[in-house]
């Protein structure tokens, strides 16, 4: 005899950019609308004690955020004082060369 139970699962219906509202949902394998995910969890003693952020951004809005961070860093550190060998704001190549 087979017995059954109901199993509820959540599936992603749509992915919308949290900045501009653009639909970033992948609908077909040949047409990909990629998006970025930014997340943060603030611990005790921070100004945002216990706050959590899970943000999805379309490519255009993500590039705007990266440009803002580059400008902010340049203002803070100057044009030649980047303390990184591999600049995290330039990204890494996904495809091996």
Query: What is the CA angle 33-37-38, rounded to 5?
Result: 150
- In whole angstroms, what is the distance from residue 65 CA to residue 55 CA? 12
Q: pLDDT by residue (tens digit) across 29-63?
A: 655 668 899 999 999 888 988 899 999 999 999 99
Element (DSSP H or E) covering residue 73:
helix 59-77
CB–CB of 35/58 below 8 Å? yes
12, two tokens: 């992603």
pLDDT at 62: 95
């Amino acid at each position: 005899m087979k017995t059954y139970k109901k199993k509820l699962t959540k599936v992603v219906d749509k992915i919308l950019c949290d900045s501009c509202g653009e639909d970033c949902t992948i609908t077909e394998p040949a047409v990909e609308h990629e998006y970025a995910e930014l997340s943060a969890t603030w611990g005790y003693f921070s100004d945002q004690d216990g706050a959590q952020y899970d943000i999805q951004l379309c490519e255009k809005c993500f590039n705007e955020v990266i440009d803002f961070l580059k400008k902010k860093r340049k203002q803070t550190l100057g044009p030649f004082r980047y303390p990184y060998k591999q600049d995290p704001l330039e990204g890494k190549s996904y495809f091996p060369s």
